């Protein structure tokens, strides 16, 4: 048989193959029927073979769900998904058309360089109408000034003036910018339930194991005890 044929290349993705665990299940449990849906890909972010195909499949399903109703897609650790050149191109093409479907895309990355250095980085950046930056001491001035079109004042703001943990953000849009305060310290329990840090997720998993998956059953206890369980 042809070792480069479709069958040979798909074999490792089939049940019994080295990657059969990724897709070849008894059924497809991916559902976008709920108002809010989340997928945690943390376990495969560092898997260069599986991460991009898994994200590509989810993006395909999301594309099918876009029907003109308001839709928000939020993608954290976005830079990991650009490591695969094929998926990076698919994502860039998706960004070109998604706004026509009444959808908003939120992309988050700890550093802009991996996105900008991607072959599709410039295309993706052009589709991002609003940029939000956290304080970044030690930021590389050339990258921000030349690649992100920061003014001297904007760069000084994120690199020096906005202190870490100040809860300040710099919002940049259409050549103008503003610094805002986003201090949610008065709402610690709500921040904790939205947080994806390991201690929060671990506490939720323990509560769900005891009370079941219905938030109405476990959320009140989370709100009451989070300060004891979440770092």
43-67 pLDDT per residue, tens:
898 888 899 899 999 999 999 999 9
Task: Give the model's pLDDT for residue 231.
Answer: 64
- Domain hosting 120: range is 8-23+34-128
Task: Give the model's pLDDT for residue 172.
Answer: 97
Q: What is the pTM of this model?
A: 0.81
Whether residue 203 lies inside any domain: the answer is yes
Question: 142 and 42, same structural domain?
Answer: no
Question: 97 and 81, same structural domain?
Answer: yes
Write out the two tokens for 83: 């490591």
Domain count of the chain?
A: 3
The band of 103, judged by pLDDT with boundaries at 50, 70 and 90, is very high
Whether residue 28 lies inside any domain: the answer is no
Please check whether residue 173 is in contact with residue 129, taking contact to mean a CB–CB distance below 8 angstroms: yes
Strands of 46-135 (E only): list them.
71-75, 103-107, 130-133
Question: 210 and 117, same structural domain?
Answer: no
Question: 83 and 106, same structural domain?
Answer: yes
Whether the per-residue pLDDT at 137 is higher than 70: the answer is yes
Whether residue 2 lies inside any domain: the answer is no
| Percent of the chain topping pLDDT 90 | 61
Question: 205 and 164, same structural domain?
Answer: no
Whether the per-residue pLDDT at 223 is higher than 80: the answer is yes
Task: Give the model's pLDDT for residue 2.
Answer: 74
């Amino acid at each position: 048989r042809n070792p480069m044929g479709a069958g040979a290349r798909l074999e490792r993705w089939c049940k019994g193959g080295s990657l059969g665990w990724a897709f070849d299940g008894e059924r497809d449990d991916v559902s976008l029927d709920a108002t809010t849906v989340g997928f945690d890909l943390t376990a495969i972010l560092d898997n260069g073979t599986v991460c991009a195909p898994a994200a590509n499949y989810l993006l395909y399903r999301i594309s099918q769900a876009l029907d003109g109703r308001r839709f928000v897609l939020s993608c954290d650790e976005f830079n990991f998904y650009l490591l695969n050149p094929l998926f990076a191109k698919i994502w860039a093409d998706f960004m070109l058309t998604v706004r026509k479907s009444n959808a908003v895309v939120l992309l988050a990355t700890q550093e802009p360089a991996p996105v900008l250095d991607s072959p599709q980085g410039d295309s993706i950046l052009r589709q991002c109408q609003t940029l939000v930056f956290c304080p970044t001491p030690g930021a590389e001035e050339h990258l921000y000034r030349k690649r992100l079109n920061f003014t001297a004042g904007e760069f000084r703001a994120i690199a020096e003036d906005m202190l870490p943990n100040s809860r300040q953000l710099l919002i940049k849009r259409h050549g103008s910018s503003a610094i805002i305060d986003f201090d949610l310290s008065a709402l610690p329990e709500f921040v904790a339930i939205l947080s994806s840090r390991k201690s929060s997720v671990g506490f939720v998993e323990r509560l769900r194991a005891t009370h079941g998956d219905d938030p109405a059953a476990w959320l009140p206890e989370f709100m009451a005890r989070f300060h004891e369980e979440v770092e």
